[in-house]
Structure 1
């Protein structure tokens, strides 16, 4: 049964959690760095041992709601004086078995950041018991808590104001809460009634209003409506639909499996999202795409974008490519099937056979940003591979800035760009590599400290220009001076550098001043 987010009881629970100091930092301190790292890998033993000597309210809640361990009724009543064990039962979060409170869900604090400390905060996120608490495989209707993919998408969300935002496939509700920070209204949809119960509970616990929760598949619950923003961590995992000769089939986990063949669910989102976006509206989501029969996966995504009902701006970033075997191992293990077991081997074979039928040689994972252009915008089409570390907090602001730079500089021709004044971004550093004894570097690199942490190899002319951009002189004047210094033709140097200046500005190495 899904949770029952009674408003009065949720308010009481929030008050109790606050009074107990149930925060992410407090939990990290309570179960230690090793326990925290182990929990991230689905192991709770180190945290349990660290908490063993303690019987205070925080330790009781850490075991009950953080780790999913039964606790004495008396201890829970003491830790939650306003809610009590009975209140947790009312919310559908626990059951009482004799003298013990048996948890039916987890509530973990999740920090969220911003451009400044004043923008940062924390939520309590409710979800189903995890693999460690269940001590076995997950049920197919499992509602996942905050994981790596959801944190990635939260970091990618544009933090700019929006009227209406759609969270497609909301799960536990983390993206809806994030979107509500900058949106007037959020509509959160999911095919799972259990997931919607957790999303409502997470919103109620954190006192977040303006989230309209609706049940249904993909775009069905919002047919005919338009949104300024769409965010989605859809069930994009490629899952085999068949079964082995022994009747073994892949579990259809609702949180990751949309019921489509191959990567067709991601294709549907790409091709159909334009129909629910307002002019200028932006969609951001994660996805997998297959490399089939020697064809590049990003080329297939490019074709999906072209098949949308209206021309769409696209910025698609592929972070990694997995082999069919690595992909199968990842998702068979994700469901709790232990490596080395007969079921594990059968499921791996099932996945590999499914890929072989479609001649799949690799599976790409990445981020998709699509925009339904307003009439005055310049077309954007970027399909790229970025292998830098996972996105950090604040990347959403960098993406928003890149789109703004694209729109501003895109309408300027080379004459206009040459008249522009730029400054080098404060996070950019330069590294020069020299052969011992040589006067001139063999390699010059520009390093980006934020965003995707890109490293670009540049030539002396471009390096000199980036170093000279201090917000004082126009780009064209700087290029002419560099041409004189390098004793090269100024017109030829302009033709060479200006396209790359546009690229550096888009990527955040240079900031337009005027």
Structure 2
């Protein structure tokens, strides 16, 4: 372990009483200590490393003049604040709660943060200070990161039942789900993660959260859940140097082991949702490779690929998060590239993988995300499962042909044309779905005409017949060609099934 170990291991938070927790939340809310205001003020969605704060940011910090200033500097930026100033701007009881709980310590005239405390929606979450010299410490409990935010954005909001937050860290996903779950278990290999999970459950008034310690599913052996959310260690590297960031097995072996264990911990109809990375191997179709992982699992599987990087780009992107020296960065990058090249890695993909336990003939599907996920789309993911049940149903096309579909809310069309020979000539038609699953696809005039038929008043067969008549195709030809388009539009969310 590194020299920062003693600092991390001594950071133990004492959960607040219900009264003090409610008071703390009220003060943060009144101060405007929110995701939105933090982003507007600092242009960061997640806390930056406090030992690598941009010089321009440090130079821009004026005197603390509001409760927001105090909270943001202590718990988002991780910098000390004058104790007298904090005492003037914050209620005395809140300062005392911070000291007694261990969120801050007092060093002469300064209040020094001992943890981050970040808002997510209406909740607050404590974790270790964000410092680059903590990153490779196996006791480190990291604060909010992009991967956690992305998984939170795509999470299906199942109501009721039991929820498992696997590889939970500070329990973002479990506590977020606690209000709609009968019970929640937060499980992590790091014992300090359980301490933060208990603190955060108390801070947010969540009484149905149980924090446990164990590797993968070992702490919940024999238990089944209706919802499992997992943000596992998935970064692919030559060696596993942490328990929260890097995959502890070669390449993507860890997530393969995780997926193999999922079905026995899901209730019928239960969902598993994760963000992760996997490799493309030279000469092997990556979809076929992933499909083989889930053969015979008893689960439907939906893979959403969000990014693809070549080994050189991937290595530099990961290493630059903790290495400033260009010479060291270059040396490490070469070692990573050699490791990946020797194992036949052509590229590394990242995204989301969803499983749903279901009896019957299970399906496997893939979607490439063409735009970043910016807003919560859990309802669209749930709708995507329902749409695929229609497309891949065991009753062939009968269910699809009898379904009533409508164009999704938030669909936008962009058409470009150029002037030639005294008239406009169309160059392209592009559809953008701005609500739900982010989609951008190019279509032609025929497909646009087909989409226009779907207003939920007719079933698919009737819409295809109207389309065929409108463009002058034989009915059977129109049905055959149009059905392929309908399947695609239903899967990507352009069309949605209406309740019967």
Distance 2:285 2:407 in 1: 35
| TM-aligned CA deviation for residue 440 of structure 1 | 7.2
| TM-aligned CA deviation for residue 47 of structure 1 | 4.4
1:126 aligned to 2:126?
Answer: yes
1:138 is aligned, of 135, 138, 142, to 135
Q: Secondary structure at the match of 1:278?
A: strand
| TM-aligned CA deviation for residue 405 of structure 1 | 2.7
| Unaligned stretches of 5+ residues in structure 2 | 1-9
RMSD: 2.7
1:17 paired residue number:
28
2:163 paired residue number:
165
1:114-263 mapped onto 2 (5 Å cutoff): 122-131=122-131, 136=133, 138-140=135-137, 141-241=139-239, 252-263=241-252
Contact 2:430 2:440 in 1 (8 A): yes
1:333 aligned to 2:320?
Answer: yes
- Cα distance, 1:257–1:415 mapped onto 2, change above 3 Å: closer
Q: Secondary structure at the match of 2:182?
A: strand
Distance 1:16 1:257 in 2: 37
Distance 2:27 2:438 in 1: 41
| TM-aligned CA deviation for residue 145 of structure 1 | 1.5
| TM-aligned CA deviation for residue 496 of structure 1 | 1.5
1:382 paired residue number:
365
1:331-410 mapped onto 2 (5 Å cutoff): 331-334=318-321, 336-342=322-328, 344-375=329-360, 379-386=362-369, 388-408=370-390, 410=393
1:114 paired residue number:
none
1:271 paired residue number:
260
- Cα distance, 1:426–1:412 mapped onto 2, change above 3 Å: farther
Contact 2:16 2:97 in 1 (8 A): no
| TM-aligned CA deviation for residue 48 of structure 1 | 4.0
| TM-aligned CA deviation for residue 28 of structure 1 | 4.9
2:104 paired residue number:
94
Q: Secondary structure at the match of 2:78?
A: coil
Deviation readout 1:72-97 (Å, 9 max, x if unpaired): 33333344435455533432322222
My pick for the range that moved more, 346-355 or 280-289, is: 346-355
2:120 paired residue number:
110
TM-score normalized with structure 2 length: 0.87
My pick for the range that moved more, 150-159 or 83-92, is: 83-92
My pick for the range that moved more, 447-456 or 431-440, is: 431-440
Distance 2:48 2:74 in 1: 17
1:473 aligned to 2:471?
Answer: no
2:7 paired residue number:
none
2:3 paired residue number:
none
Distance 1:259 1:225 in 2: 24
| TM-aligned CA deviation for residue 459 of structure 1 | 4.4
Contact 1:11 1:204 in 2 (8 A): no
My pick for the range that moved more, 469-478 or 265-274, is: 469-478
| TM-aligned CA deviation for residue 454 of structure 1 | 1.7
Distance 2:75 2:84 in 1: 16
- Cα distance, 1:200–1:38 mapped onto 2, change above 3 Å: closer
Q: Secondary structure at the match of 2:307?
A: strand
1:280 is aligned, of 228, 247, 269, to 269
| Unaligned stretches of 5+ residues in structure 1 | 112-121, 242-249
Contact 2:46 2:146 in 1 (8 A): no
My pick for the range that moved more, 213-222 or 75-84, is: 75-84
| TM-aligned CA deviation for residue 2 of structure 1 | 4.5
1:356-505 mapped onto 2 (5 Å cutoff): 356-375=341-360, 379-386=362-369, 388-408=370-390, 410=393, 413-434=396-417, 436-437=420-421, 441=426, 443-505=428-490
Give the length in aligned residue pairs. 482
Q: Secondary structure at the match of 2:260?
A: helix
2:307 is aligned, of 300, 320, 325, to 320
1:247 paired residue number:
none
